[in-house]
Chains A and B, each alone.
Chain A
Amino acid sequence: MGHLEDGRRVENLPAEDHGLVAPLVVLDGVGVRIGSTQILRDVNLEINAGEVVGLFGSNGAGKTTALRLIATLIRPAEGSGTVLGADLTSPDRYDVRRRIGMIGHVPGIFPELTLAENLRYAARVAGVPTDRVETVLAAVGLAGAADRPAGASSHGMQRRAEFARELMIDRSLLLLDEPHSALDRDAVDLVEGLIERKAAEGGAVVVVSHDRDRINKIAHRTVELAGGTLS
């Protein structure tokens, strides 16, 4: 997955060719339980390269769980699925995680490190040159706050730092959980910018949001999560 037979990378294909390749995400009758509580039931979803999918649902419907499932961080209790070609229950999923980016509700940032150190850590682990850190921090407007401890930075700043991380690392699939929240008026266009860029590159984006108007403008399609299942 990721390469066609002639060696071209999927992500580098022109948009009109995306339909020729296998879907990036396939979920077939997937159910998810946390402990003994059923969160998702009979979820069917297919996401193709270059698609932007909006995911709506009321509070507690299981949207974050659905995103973590697509991120291969949760095993399905029922059904089957593949993400970027890796079966959700097989060890292959470890190999594709590096190509999945997720910006969650709560920032996955280490508060003891500075914003720049967080990004350098991410770059090192992901195998990306660390000299990109300054560039992406400037791109999200955090150049002046790079050396501030992340724990002393606002939620919005931490959010921006996560966007910087996703700009820095090459991902085939981007999962965004309420990306507009906590971002101020200036930064909120970051979301659209990142999404459009990812889709143009041939990746796919899933956006969870309550802001239906904004999402309807940029999403190719939307799905609704209710009763534990998607429609």
Chain B
Amino acid sequence: MTVQTRSRRWPWVVMGLSLAVAFTLSMVSPADSVQGDLVRIMYVHVPAAWLAYTAFFVTFVGSLAYLLTKNLRWDRVAAASAEIGVYFTGLALALGMIWAKPTWGVWWTWDARLTLTFIMFFVYLGYLALRRTTDDPIARASRAAVLGVLGAIQIPIVHFSVVWWRTLHQPPSLIRPDGPAIQDPLMLTALIVGVVAFTIVYAALMVKRIELIHLEERRLAVERSIERPVAGEAVTVPQLGGAL
């Protein structure tokens, strides 16, 4: 028996359009006077980093809402956001490193924001690992929710600690980890459009991912409604017969 449902198409359309607009603007905007075309990585890196934090915040909200309401809908939101968030976090980190190497000669600067993003990446991974290893849906929702709240509340504390740490230990060179200030209006527009486009991408992905989780749960419910033998029926009367 298959579960038929009309899969929403509009998220893909909206995503495609936003990405097309953002891509066009990023290509059309001028190259940087210092970095040249390398600056275009910023148009993906900055939105990705913005989304990493947004997705994390949504996971926190979903986790808290689940703990308060026990409604599994919130667990789906938290889980979907964490999955999407981990990709954006990884993307932000990778792009940041790719941008850093030719610019400053090092793959990694111990910038407060970068370090915090890397730490967050591990918190996400742990959250997803926990979900993956818990079978029972109610247990998974509860445990993941507690971890989601714990991780999210700890993140501002981690943020403060890392920022204070960097303030005390300024690097000797003149590297400004924020990168050059963006003054050209077209570049600024491209950046803002990029952030908006990626937010739309995130929202579209959330819609599809939650739809997928929902379908998966419906499939499981259908499977369970089919009378299957209970575990105990696998044990039968022993029959030695000619075995000995």
Touch test A–B (CB under 8 Å): yes
Question: Residues on A close to B: CB < 8 A?
Answer: 33-41, 57-62, 75, 225-228
Smallest Cβ distance from A92 to chain B, in angstroms? 16
Contacts of A62 on B, CB cut-off 8 Å?
A: 230-232
User: Given that A38-B230, A39-B230, A41-B230 are contacting pairs, would A61 and B135 also be in contact in the complex, using a CB cutoff of 8 Å?
Assistant: no
Contacts of A36 on B, CB cut-off 8 Å?
A: 135-136, 220
Residue B153 CB within 8 A of the other chain: no
Closest to A62 in B: B232
Q: How far is the CA of A76 from the CA of B69 in the complex (A)?
A: 19
Residue B188 CB within 8 A of the other chain: no
Q: How far is the CA of A228 from the CA of B231 in the complex (A)?
A: 8
Smallest Cβ distance from A105 to chain B, in angstroms? 16
Contacts of A57 on B, CB cut-off 8 Å?
A: 232
Residue B184 CB within 8 A of the other chain: no
How many residues on chain B are close to A (CB under 8 Å)? 14
Smallest Cβ distance from A41 to chain B, in angstroms? 6
Closest to B234 in A: A60
Closest to A36 in B: B135
Q: Produce 1/0 per residue, B112-152, CB < 8 A to A.
A: 00000000000000000000000110100000000000000
Can you list 13 A-B contacts with CB-CB less than 8 angstroms, sorted by A residue number?
A: A33-B136, A35-B136, A36-B135, A36-B136, A38-B224, A57-B232, A58-B237, A61-B232, A62-B230, A227-B229, A227-B233, A228-B230, A228-B233
User: B235 and A59: CB pair below 8 A?
Assistant: yes
Smallest Cβ distance from B62 to chain A, in angstroms? 22
Smallest Cβ distance from B183 to chain A, in angstroms? 58
Partner of B232, one of A33, A35, A60, A75: A60
